[in-house]
Structure formats: structure tokens, C-alpha cells
Chains A and B, each alone.
Chain A
């Protein structure tokens, strides 16, 4: 597996050019987060929420906001891309584009969330690390699923159901870690390691599978 920097950068630059012009993806990610945040915080007012529940809420918002990115392959010039493009640079280019978009979203979402729900973060580094690896997994799985549905000969919305079992372990671990970071319970380091390993396997398997889809 060889990844060329020139190809990889071409893919990322193209993604940004198109998405900054269309804005559909960015707008729907932002709209979902805003709506969810506003609804929840207005509805529950100043009620105290348990940290487990808060973490689950945060990850639900992240997950649904990320589904806007599942369409990254839908408007692709797929035939031309298959003729000129190499599978790996496209897979990783798209994935990194998703990751950067999610990071940008988190820069807005996380502080807003913490302020609205009046959370005190006992262990900020753990929270940031958890969020980073959580969105890595989401980006990897999302890119793969959207690639499968765009390149497979059977076009079916059912593919996105595949996302659920693939991504569930990441969520459970991320929720666990997030709530520990909020409370400064003993940090379950093993969960963090499991999450990093799971991410790596997911991305590696995705990259191998993508070769089969592409050639």
C-alpha cells in the first residue's frame, strides 16, 4: 500500500473546494448540532444531569451530525475518478476530509455543550483524546460505508444500517471515557487503548476492502 502525497492532497483540496461552494454538508452538520443543543437545553433547563447521560447526549449529537458526511461519495464523478484515481489516496483523502470537518464541528460543539450543560471537566486531556479517537472511528467507518454504497452495483440505502454495528463499540467506549473525564473517576485507560486499537483495525480493514471495491 503506497500513498502518494500529491494525490492525497489533490483529493483533500478538491473536497474542500466543492464543499465550501456547496456548503450543504457543513450547514446540515451545524444545523443538527444547534437544533439538538437548543432543544435539550431549553427542555431540561437547569436540571442536574448525570455525567453518563450527558456523555451519551454528546455522542448522540456527534453521531447524527456526522451522518451529513455519509453522502461524500454520492455526487462523485465516479467513473472518471475510477479511471484516474488510486484507491488509497481517495479513501484516505475522503477520510481526512471527514475528520477535519468533524474537528471543525467539535471546536464549536464542545465548548457550547459544556457551557449549556454547565459541565465541569475534571480531566480535559482525556476528554480531548477521547473525542479525537471517537471522531477518527466515525470518519473511517462513514467513509467506508459511503464508498460501499456508491461503488457497489447494488445501490441501496440499506448499507447505512451496516454503520450501526461497526460504530457501536466506539460509542460505548467513548461514552464511558467521556463520563470518566467529566467526573475524574479513575480513567479507564484500557477503554482508551481498546478504542485506539479498534479504530486502527477499522481503518486498516476499510483501506483493504476499498481496494476490492475500486479495482
Chain B
């Protein structure tokens, strides 16, 4: 399991705008870490840095797997995510989308009904094309894929956006459970309900 991700003196900027300057922090598994801050404060950038999807200008980001340092390719295999800019294939059905993304992680899943129940997505929608889904349904489907892949690190960028109250409750309950079993959870959020379940809050300043 991934134990922690460590930021060491990380600086990062976009077009002369400093988003992080000499930023150091240790992110531990087993708790919910919320990242809060105004729009444009760098929450999504923080998540991308933590998952090593982008490289910081200076400084280091190190991930530990069972106490040993792992490189970004191996870290990537242990991450799953829900983020606004993650698209699904609108031409494919919900089931085909799940089967594809899960297959990319070498998981063969023939019965997905259990997961549809967990995110309370109508089983009837399983064989419907995703282009007919509402934004809330797509959000649930993205979360379903994350649950089905079941990786060590969860990167959640505003996970409850577009969700109704029952959807929010389901997501927050699942997130709490997974932190309890030792997953590393990073959640960028501006919603009070989401921040409330966090064990640790990193609040980013306005630049």
C-alpha cells in the first residue's frame, strides 16, 4: 500500500504566476486530506503534483509504497481519480466504459451490478449510452469506476459537484470507509459538507 506522499520544497508557477513556493508537506494514508482555497488558488494543481501528473519547477515529490520510494510510473498504477476534466466515452454504454477503464488496470469485471447499487445508479442505465446521461449520473459513473478499480490513492477534485444530497451522502460515506481501511485520500473541495469529513485540511492562500 502507498503510505505517504511527501512534498519537499516544491515551487511551481504558471506564466510567472507563483502557485506554490517552497512548499513542504507530508500526506499520510489512512485519513481524508482536504485541500481548500478560492478558485484559482491551485487546488487542482496540487492534486496533479501529488499524483505526479506534472513535474514541479523545483523541489521534489516522493511517494512511498510500503516504506519504499516508487517512481511515477508505478505510482500512476495505484491512483484512481474523479475530476471535472475527466471525460468518459459518450459513444459507449455505462457498462462498456466501466469494462474498458477497469480493463486498463488488468481487472476483468463481468458483474458490475454491485457497484451500480453502491453508487445508487439505476441498473437500467447499465446498457444505456453515456451520451444520454445527466451530469450527476456521469459523476456517479466516474465514482463507480474509481470504486471498481479500488486503488491505494484516491484523487478527488470536487467529487460532489453536480450531485444531489443522496449522492453526496453516498460518496462521503464511501470516502470515509476507504480512509479507514488505509487509503490515501486527497480531496480538493470548496464545499462545507465535504470539508467536514476531512481529518486534515490544507488551505491554500490566494495569490
Contact = CB atoms under 8 A, between A and B. Distances in A.
Q: Do A and B come from one complex?
A: yes
Interface string B89-107: 1011000100111011111
Q: Which of B73, B101, B145 has the most CB of A within 10 A?
A: B101
Contacts of A14: 89, 92, 96, 100
Interface in B70-114: 72-73, 76-77, 79-81, 83, 85-89, 91-92, 96, 99-101, 103-108
Contacts of A78: 87
A79 B108 contact: no
B87 A86 contact: no
A53 interface: no
A181 to B, nearest CB: 40
Contact of A83 (B73, B80, B103, B107): B80
B149 interface: yes
Contacts of B104: 7, 10-11, 81, 84-86, 89
A34 B100 CA distance: 34
Interface in A179-215: 215
A17 B88 contact: no
Interface string A1-19: 0001011011101100110
Nearest to B142: A80
A139 B85 CA distance: 29
Given A82-B53, A84-B105, A18 B92 contact: yes
Interface in A42-86: 77-86
Contact of A7 (B89, B92, B103): B103
A215 B48 CA distance: 12
Nearest to B71: A215
A21 interface: yes
Contacts of B86: 77, 79-80, 83
A17 B106 contact: no
Given A22-B91, A82-B53, A215-B73, A4 B106 contact: yes
A149 to B, nearest CB: 18
Interface string B54-72: 0000000000000000001
B53 A80 contact: no
Given A9-B103, A10-B104, A83 B89 contact: no
Contacts of B87: 77-80
A84 B91 contact: no
A165 to B, nearest CB: 30
Nearest to B92: A17
B79 A7 contact: no
Given A18-B89, A79-B87, A10 B100 contact: yes
Contact of A79 (B83, B89, B106): B83
Contacts of B149: 84
Contacts of B81: 83
Contacts of A22: 91
Interface of B: 51, 53, 72-73, 76-77, 79-81, 83, 85-89, 91-92, 96, 99-101, 103-108, 145, 149
Given A14-B100, A17-B91, 7 more contacts: A10-B104, A14-B92, A80-B87, A83-B53, A83-B76, A84-B80, A215-B76
18 contacts: A6-B103, A6-B107, A11-B104, A14-B92, A14-B96, A17-B91, A18-B91, A77-B86, A77-B87, A77-B88, A78-B87, A79-B86, A81-B104, A83-B53, A83-B81, A84-B101, A86-B104, A215-B72
